[in-house]
Amino acid sequence: MSKAEEQPVPAGIDIEPVTAWLANAVSAAGGSVAPPLHFDQIAGGRSNLTFQVTDVAGTSWALRRPPTGNVLASAHDMGREHRVMSALAPTLVPVPTMVGLCDDESVTGAPFYVMDWVEGTVVRNRRVAATFDEATIKAMCRSVVETMAKIHQVDIDEVGLGDFAKREGYVARQLKRWKGQVDATSMPTVPAIERAFDELSASIPDQGVARLVHGDYRLDNTIVGADGAVLAVLDWELTTLGDPLADLGAMLTYWSRPGDSYVALTDPPTLADGFIERDEVVSIYEDAIGRSVGNVGYYHAFATWRLACILDGVVDRYRAGAMGKDDDFDADGWASQVTTLAESALESLHAS
C-alpha cells in the first residue's frame, strides 16, 4: 500500500486528482513532483483551508482551498488571492511564488491554488515569539510595519490590479459587506454589532487615493526569517482597493498589549517581551510612507467591529462542520468574544 493510500484522507482533498493536477502544473514550470504526496492541514487558519503538500523527495508546496460544506458567497475566492500574489511577484512586497490556480471543481470539490513553500516562522503566539531575542523582535516589528507600507505603495495600475475592485467608498462597501455576512449566518443577533454598524456608517472619514488593501494584515499572516525580516505575506483573501488606513487599523486591533480589554487572537504574540507599543507602530508606518496619518481611532474601531463580524462567521462555519477537525478551537469562547469585540469597537469609536 502506498503512503498516499496509508494516510487518512484529509477533508477537502481528493488525493489522486490533486496529485495529477499538481504534477502537470509543476512540470509546466520546468519542475517535477515525486508522488505519492502527503497532505498536512496547517493549524491556525480560521477561514480558508491551507495544506502543506510534500512529495517523497521532500519538496513542499502550500495548497489553499475554501472550507468544505456551504460557505458564504464571495468570502472564499481563490482566484482573487492567486491574482493578487501573482501581480505582486515583481514588486517589493514579499509573496510566495505561485504554481497555479485550479478552477475545475471536479478535481477536489472546489477551486484551489498552489504556491511554493516558504521556509520560515509564522509567529502565531507568545511561545513562538519567545524563540526570538528582543533585538530580533524589534527588527521584526519594524519589518512587518514597513512591509505593510510597501503594500500601500504599490502602483495598482502598473501591476494590473487597477480594475481589481471599486476604488471609491471603501469603508462604506466594507460595512455593507460584513453586515451582510453577519446577517447571512445562523448566529444570534449581537446588539453591539448592530449599534457599531450604525455609528460607523454615520461617521465615515473622507477617503484619499485608493491603494491596495490587504484586508487582514497582521504579524501571523506573514512568514519571518531568523533575523525577523518578513519573507512572505500570506492570506490575501480579503484584499481589495481602498483606504490603506484600514490595514493600519487592523494591525492595531491585532497588536494586543498588556492591559487591553480584549485579545483579538487566542494568544497574541505581541504580548511577549520586546514588542513595541501601538503608537510606535503608527510612527514607523508614518516614517515609511513619508507623511502623518492623523487620528487612526476610527480605523481601529472599524477594524475591531469587522473582526467581530469575521469571527461571527468563523464560529458559524465551525459549528456547521465546514472547518475540518480542530480540537483547539473553542467555539463557545470565541462566540462570547464576538460581543466583546463589538463593544470594544464602540469604545474605540467614542474615544476617537
Q: For the residues 194-222, what does the mean pLDDT come to?
A: 95
pLDDT the model gives residue 27: 96
Q: For the residues 203-232, what does the mean pLDDT come to?
A: 95
pLDDT per position as a tens digit, 106-145? 999 999 999 999 999 999 999 999 999 999 999 999 999 9
Question: In Å, how far from its chain's centre is CA 247?
Answer: 11
Structure confidence at residue 186 as a pLDDT band (50, 70, 90) = confident
Residue 274: all three cell numbers together: 520586546
CATH class of the domain comprising 126-351: alpha beta
Q: For the residues 44-56, what does the mean pLDDT come to?
A: 83
**Residue with the larger pLDDT of the pair 238 and 287:** 287
Residue in this structure with the C-alpha cell 476610527, named with its chain if needed:
298
**Residue with the larger pLDDT of the pair 35 and 4:** 35
pLDDT per position as a tens digit, 263-275? 888 799 999 999 9
Residue 175 confidence (pLDDT) above 90 = yes
Express as a percent the part of the chain with pLDDT over 70: 91
User: Model-level pTM?
Assistant: 0.87
pLDDT the model gives residue 104: 96
**Residue with the larger pLDDT of the pair 311 and 157:** 157
Structure confidence at residue 2 as a pLDDT band (50, 70, 90) = very low
Residue in this structure with the C-alpha cell 520586546, named with its chain if needed:
274
Structure confidence at residue 4 as a pLDDT band (50, 70, 90) = very low
**Domain extents in the chain:** 3-116, 126-351
| HSE value, Cβ hemisphere, 13 Å, CA-based, for 162 | 5
Residue 39 confidence (pLDDT) above 90 = yes
Q: For the residues 258-264, what does the mean pLDDT come to?
A: 84
279 Rama sector, left if φ>0, alpha if ψ -120 to 50, beta otherwise:
alpha
Question: In Å, how far from its chain's centre is CA 302?
Answer: 17
Give the start-end residues of each E strand in the chain. Answer: 38-41, 49-54, 60-65, 98-102, 112-116, 211-213, 222-224, 230-233, 240-242
Q: For the residues 295-306, what does the mean pLDDT come to?
A: 93
Tell me the three state secondary structure of residue 281: helix
Distance from C-alpha of 282 to C-alpha of 194, rounded to nearest angstrom:
29
Fold of 3-116: Phosphorylase Kinase; domain 1 (3.30.200)
pLDDT per position as a tens digit, 321-332? 665 555 566 767
Distance from C-alpha of 221 to C-alpha of 236, rounded to nearest angstrom:
9
**Average of per-residue pLDDT values in the chain:** 90
Q: For the residues 297-317, what does the mean pLDDT come to?
A: 90
